[in-house]
A and B are shown apart, each in its own frame.
Chain A
């Protein structure tokens, strides 16, 4: 596909132009931090953000999503995609979406997610500032971001837009863009390569080695008790994670008491009752009773279980969990590096 250049002063005009025909979701400021939200004007766009509170997964898999509607006669579904341009996604979050794309397609396709995914054009953007807890420079470096339609890189004087798909190509109307020169494209490449060394945290191991060692550590109760010490099972580390996709399903009634809906809500495997079941005998059985077994499960999934399916770790290195954890224990850098450093 093509490579284009747009001057810095033209960018907002381009975004406002797109806004006339489609919904645009991008990073905007929220108090001292950033969130993905629908743009009310291009001026809100903050391509200089470091990381958003929640990953862009929420566009396709919202924290609360109605999946069925019912009345006394019938049950119908609620898949209703809205054409959207998702603008300004950092590469590590594109990698996160690649993983949820795969997982939502695997075996049983979940069109409650996929329909909105297909109705969305994703424009990735270069990382202009690095979040303090990020470690995307070293984790899963062999996995390249796939599921984006165009990549916008800030260079001096403006931006280079490299289109990856016909959907992306359609965004580059030529009134504001011109074809980029080879130098500009090479410059964009240098910008994106240079930022990879900017994370202050490192996880200097091959993800396959990590997968093997983490899996082997399963039975080391002492190690996991130590690592999980102070965890109060709040589930924040799950909720902010781009590659977590567990959910709960609950029904509710409308005021008429005959119609209602079935809704799915994000759920968190770190919370106490996540794997609890009332057995046929009536007794409660919690398959992950202890907080350390839940903490361990999260790392088993991220580093080992999903690794085989995905061909890399189910962690993008965004650092959101590290920042969200009040006990300051959820950071994969601390946990993985500790495991890699001990003799099991």
Chain B
């Protein structure tokens, strides 16, 4: 929280973050690397979000796409979907974005540590989980077998080309990717994400699973996890809601009695199961 000049804590006062690098992984997405203008480092856990804004346009909740183990800067990936995200994506190196956060409840790293981990990411859902992926890779010996499933609609939508190249080569991670629809250049898997479960035989019932992607994906992934005998308490879901304040006040992100912005965005599937409005 930021204090104003009169000493009042102000939950709405953003901090300035300088854009130090950008890239355009797809025509609609922009990848930013940011640094706080006061040169302090952002203290967060994977799965937490930022309210990212451009003054005069507004704010949008965005998951942090880099790991806290890589400290001097942090990444976000923003998809152009409306007025605010259009304004954010028109900024470039040297410009500033105004951020609040980290906000929300991220991944409970202690729940994952010491166990096999499977991450299932669909579409832009790879961005918030990238924070977790980097974290695990940076502290590889703290975790068991590490598997990543990633799927996108078509090859042009696949994000983080360099990362994926590295993951494919690496022994530290068992990486599988697929696209719903191939194009002429594509030689990899074709099919929705749940089909990847048939490509690897190494998912133990004790695995901790993280799911992030469009709600349509959840249902089918959960069927596969059920077959593998993975209990609901060990499945973590990263949800998306309309958010305005990010601090549990404005009411927009409510899922029954929970607030996606402070109780989430990461929930255990056991919790979600109790919430009629979750999926």
**What residues of chain A have their CB less than 8 Å away from a CB belonging to chain B?**
67-68, 70, 75-77, 79, 103-104, 106-112, 115, 218-219, 245-253, 260, 262, 264, 267, 269, 274-282, 285, 287-288, 293, 297, 300-301, 304-306
Q: List 26 A-B contacts (CB under 8 A).
A: A68-B14, A77-B4, A77-B8, A77-B12, A79-B6, A106-B248, A107-B262, A108-B11, A112-B12, A248-B244, A248-B252, A249-B245, A251-B55, A252-B56, A262-B55, A267-B250, A269-B251, A274-B251, A277-B241, A280-B125, A280-B214, A280-B240, A281-B214, A288-B277, A300-B256, A305-B257
Chain A contact residues, majority secondary structure? mixed
Residues in A whose Cβ lies below 8 Å from that of B215: 285
Residues in A whose Cβ lies below 8 Å from that of B6: 79
In the assembly, what is the distance between CA of A262 and CA of B277, in Å? Answer: 30
In the assembly, what is the distance between CA of A137 and CA of B262, in Å? Answer: 35
Chain B, range 1-26, C-beta contacts under 8 Å to A: 1, 4-6, 8-14, 16
Chain B, range 228-279, C-beta contacts under 8 Å to A: 240-242, 244-245, 247-252, 254-257, 262, 276-277
B161 to chain A: closest CB distance in Å? 19
Of B13, B55, B276, which is in contact with the most chain A CB atoms at under 10 Å from its CB? B55
Closest to B78 in A: A280
Are A110 and B249 neighbours in the complex by a CB distance under 8 Å?
yes
Contact A287-B277, Cβ < 8 Å, known A277-B241, A280-B123: yes
Q: Does B79 have its Cβ within 8 Å of any Cβ on chain A?
A: yes
A131 to chain B: closest CB distance in Å? 26
Closest to A107 in B: B248
Contact A278-B8, Cβ < 8 Å, known A249-B58, A251-B57, A267-B250: no
Closest 10 A/B residue pairs (Cβ): A246-B251, A305-B257, A277-B242, A108-B247, A280-B124, A70-B55, A111-B8, A77-B4, A278-B81, A77-B10
Closest to A304 in B: B257
Partner of B254, one of A68, A77, A109, A297: A297
Contact A79-B8, Cβ < 8 Å, known A70-B56, A247-B250, A251-B56: yes
Closest to B244 in A: A249
In the assembly, what is the distance between CA of A70 and CA of B255, in Å? Answer: 33
Contact A68-B57, Cβ < 8 Å, known A107-B247, A276-B242, A300-B256: no
Q: Does B98 have its Cβ within 8 Å of any Cβ on chain A?
A: yes
Closest to A250 in B: B58
Are B81 and A282 neighbours in the complex by a CB distance under 8 Å?
yes
A280 to chain B: closest CB distance in Å? 4
Residues in B whose Cβ lies below 8 Å from that of A285: 215
Q: Does B177 have its Cβ within 8 Å of any Cβ on chain A?
A: no
In the assembly, what is the distance between CA of A5 and CA of B240, in Å? Answer: 58
B213 to chain A: closest CB distance in Å? 9
Residues in B whose Cβ lies below 8 Å from that of A77: 4, 8, 10, 12-13
Are A280 and B277 neighbours in the complex by a CB distance under 8 Å?
no
In the assembly, what is the distance between CA of A251 and CA of B14, in Å? Answer: 14
Are A111 and B9 neighbours in the complex by a CB distance under 8 Å?
yes
Closest to B153 in A: A281
Partner of A280, one of B5, B79, B250: B79
Are A79 and B10 neighbours in the complex by a CB distance under 8 Å?
yes
Partner of A104, one of B10, B125, B249, B252: B249
In the assembly, what is the distance between CA of A269 and CA of B240, in Å? Answer: 18
B1 to chain A: closest CB distance in Å? 7
Residues in A whose Cβ lies below 8 Å from that of B56: 70, 251-253, 260
Are A68 and B12 neighbours in the complex by a CB distance under 8 Å?
yes
Residues in B whose Cβ lies below 8 Å from that of A218: 276
Q: Does B59 have its Cβ within 8 Å of any Cβ on chain A?
A: yes
Given contact pairs A75-B14, A277-B241, enumerate 16 new A-B contacts (beta carbons under 8 Å): A75-B13, A75-B16, A77-B12, A77-B13, A106-B248, A108-B247, A108-B249, A219-B276, A248-B252, A253-B56, A274-B242, A275-B252, A276-B242, A277-B242, A287-B277, A300-B256
Residues in B whose Cβ lies below 8 Å from that of A219: 276
In the assembly, what is the distance between CA of A103 and CA of B255, in Å? Answer: 17
In the assembly, what is the distance between CA of A68 and CA of B245, in Å? Answer: 13
Q: Does B27 have its Cβ within 8 Å of any Cβ on chain A?
A: no
Are B9 and A109 neighbours in the complex by a CB distance under 8 Å?
yes
A28 to chain B: closest CB distance in Å? 30
Residues in A whose Cβ lies below 8 Å from that of B11: 108-111
Closest to A246 in B: B251
Closest to B55 in A: A70
Contact A300-B257, Cβ < 8 Å, known A70-B56, A110-B249, A276-B242: yes
Are B242 and A275 neighbours in the complex by a CB distance under 8 Å?
yes
CB 8 Å contact bits of B104-144 with A (1 = contact, 0 = none): 00000000000000000001110000000000000000000
